[in-house]
Copies of this chain bind each other. A is one copy, B any other.
Amino acid sequence: MFRNQMPRYEILSQDAMATLDAGWRRLISEVGVEFMSEEALRLFREAGQKVVDNTVFFDPEFVLEQVAKAPREFDMQARNPANNVHIGGDAMVFGAVYGPPFVREGAVRRDGTLDDFHRFAKLSQSFAALDSAGGVVCEPNDAPLDSRHLDMIYALQTLTDKIYMGNVVSGENARDTIAMGEILFGGRESIEAKPASISLINCNSPLRWDDRMLDALIEYCKAAQPVVVTPFILMGAMSPVTIPAALVQQITEALSGIALTQLIRPGCPVVFGSFLSNIDMQSGSPTFGTPESGIGLLCTGQIARHFGLPFRTGGGLTSSQVPDAQAGYEALMTLMPTFLAGTNFVMHSAGWLEGGLVAGFEKFVIDAQIVEMLQHEFTPMEIDEASLAYDAHVEVGHGGHFLGAAHTMERFRTCFYRPFLSSSDNYDRWMRNGGKDTAARAADIWKKRLEDYTEPPLDEAIKAQLQEYVARRRRELGD
């Protein structure tokens, strides 16, 4: 997996951090946070926090005590041990887009299907830059609503041998995710020792945790499966328009949720989540890859480190409707800060289009290209005597070229990163090859990847058990 050993780019001064620190302490204690779950409220009440109706008014010191129980870093198991991941420290985990109801394939935009889900899962398996297909890589609208989580988990478990994300629609769906993890990884003990799934718990920002999300969070924490506790903030709508206010709110929401995870099961692995962008104040539309979201992202990394927590931000976000220039520059406007901040868990790393409403096949390839380039860029180079190539200069002299120099011949195969999508063909060659733009070349690539795909081997007995579980649960759910 990729480890980012380059320096972090930090932009908050100590004074700024102190201001934000005072801000969340006031917000969490005086305005408080709503939890739409009796169990959560009971846990907080029993722990001595002031609870009025559904609102918990926190003692900030209590919150920090809970947060301190969470591990700074943890491991996760994939069914192919080569794809195990570490979450925290300098490790970065990349997963595909999560949640789009629609897909785009060339000029066609339509409802996502289970077949699309399968194809995206296979592509996630195929691209080495990705550690995971994520969870809901697109919504399989043609699968029965109550049981489609079973179809998705089964696909993630069988079509990929990488880590996957759990379902969070309800506590029941979380229990299914956990049960299927137990089947795949040899029982409860195995997944409690090393988690088999990680799940996204979104806040209903501002300052409210909803019942279904909390039910799922509670199930996962009981089973020691990590959750990504994520304030969902489009500044201007779900938070004030000023970035510092959004950051204070983000800290308040994330820490309140993380405190709950540690009351449920002290030491349960957890990730400080962030989904932070802004709306267009004229149209109300969400916007992505904006200057404000980039700044927020850089600050978020610094804040998460301040609290000693692994964190999630970033991805290849864009508002663009198609995989065009805007899609390219907006994706990188978020992905570059994602690397600069050293984000530990990166959702939406590939395939995000149209503000997250669309999973794009071509965009998937474009993002995988960008992520792989950045993985190379954020790998420190060695600077030693051999790297100075003095002998090559003596050999080539003034005004010559290095194409045939001994130093070049020794290194030419691996010296530079070679992209799979970007073209540097000269104009004539490019025209002879069909004059294809990046989206057209990306379409060729994902189609070829699917042709070449082979399902990673899985013990037939385990596969049968999973199928049996899915069939039984589907019957129970009435689908």
Contacting residue for A387 out of B242, B392, B394, CB 8 A:
B242
Known A-B contacts A319-B424, A413-B281, A422-B320; A19 and B325 likewise in contact (beta carbons under 8 Å)? no
Q: List, sorted by A's number, 20 A–B pairs whose CB atoms are closer than 8 Å.
A: A15-B383, A23-B390, A34-B398, A204-B399, A236-B402, A236-B408, A241-B402, A242-B388, A242-B389, A278-B416, A321-B435, A324-B438, A325-B438, A325-B439, A327-B438, A328-B328, A329-B329, A329-B370, A333-B377, A354-B427
A305 to B20, CA, bound (A): 32
Contacts of A240 in B (CB 8 A): 389, 392-393, 402, 405, 407-408
Contacts of A374 in B (CB 8 A): 291
A77 at the interface (CB under 8 A from B): no
A209 to B357, CA, bound (A): 55
Cross-chain contact B319 with A328 (CB below 8 angstroms): no
A245 at the interface (CB under 8 A from B): yes
Contacts of A290 in B (CB 8 A): 373, 416-417
For the complex formed, measure the closest distance between the CB of A30 and the CB atoms of chain B, giving whole angstroms.
Answer: 8
Contacting residue for A16 out of B383, B423, B424, CB 8 A:
B383
Cross-chain contact A286 with B424 (CB below 8 angstroms): yes
For the complex formed, measure the closest distance between the CB of A403 and the CB atoms of chain B, giving whole angstroms.
Answer: 6
Contacts of A423 in B (CB 8 A): 319-321, 326
Stoichiometry (number of copies) = 2
For the complex formed, measure the closest distance between the CB of A256 and the CB atoms of chain B, giving whole angstroms.
Answer: 11
Known A-B contacts A11-B6, A31-B394, A354-B427; A415 and B242 likewise in contact (beta carbons under 8 Å)? yes
Cross-chain contact B322 with A381 (CB below 8 angstroms): no
Cross-chain contact A398 with B207 (CB below 8 angstroms): yes
Cross-chain contact A398 with B26 (CB below 8 angstroms): no
Contacts of A323 in B (CB 8 A): 325
A9 to B298, CA, bound (A): 12
Cross-chain contact B388 with A248 (CB below 8 angstroms): yes
Contact pattern, A 167-209, Cβ under 8 Å of B = 1, otherwise 0: 0000000000000000000000000000000000000101110
In the complex, besides A240-B392, A279-B416, 19 extra interface pairs with C-beta distance below 8 angstroms are A7-B11, A19-B383, A19-B388, A109-B427, A207-B398, A235-B415, A235-B416, A240-B408, A242-B389, A280-B416, A281-B413, A286-B424, A291-B373, A325-B325, A325-B439, A327-B438, A329-B366, A330-B422, A332-B332
- CB closest chain-B residue, reference A203: B399
Cross-chain contact A408 with B241 (CB below 8 angstroms): yes
8 closest cross-chain pairs (CB), A and B:
A328-B328, A240-B389, A291-B377, A325-B328, A245-B389, A328-B329, A319-B424, A208-B399
Known A-B contacts A7-B11, A398-B34; A437 and B245 likewise in contact (beta carbons under 8 Å)? no
Q: How large is the interface on A (under 10, 10 to 19, 20 to 34, 35 or more residues)?
A: 35 or more
Known A-B contacts A326-B422, A377-B291, A423-B320; A415 and B27 likewise in contact (beta carbons under 8 Å)? no
Contact pattern, A 198-237, Cβ under 8 Å of B = 1, otherwise 0: 0000001011100000000000000000000000000111
Contacts of A287 in B (CB 8 A): 416, 422, 424
Contacts of A439 in B (CB 8 A): 324-325
For the complex formed, measure the closest distance between the CB of A330 and the CB atoms of chain B, giving whole angstroms.
Answer: 7
Contacts of A418 in B (CB 8 A): 280-282
Contacts of A437 in B (CB 8 A): 321-322, 324-326
A329 to B316, CA, bound (A): 11
A421 at the interface (CB under 8 A from B): yes
A354 to B9, CA, bound (A): 31
Cross-chain contact B366 with A244 (CB below 8 angstroms): no
Contacts of A87 in B (CB 8 A): none
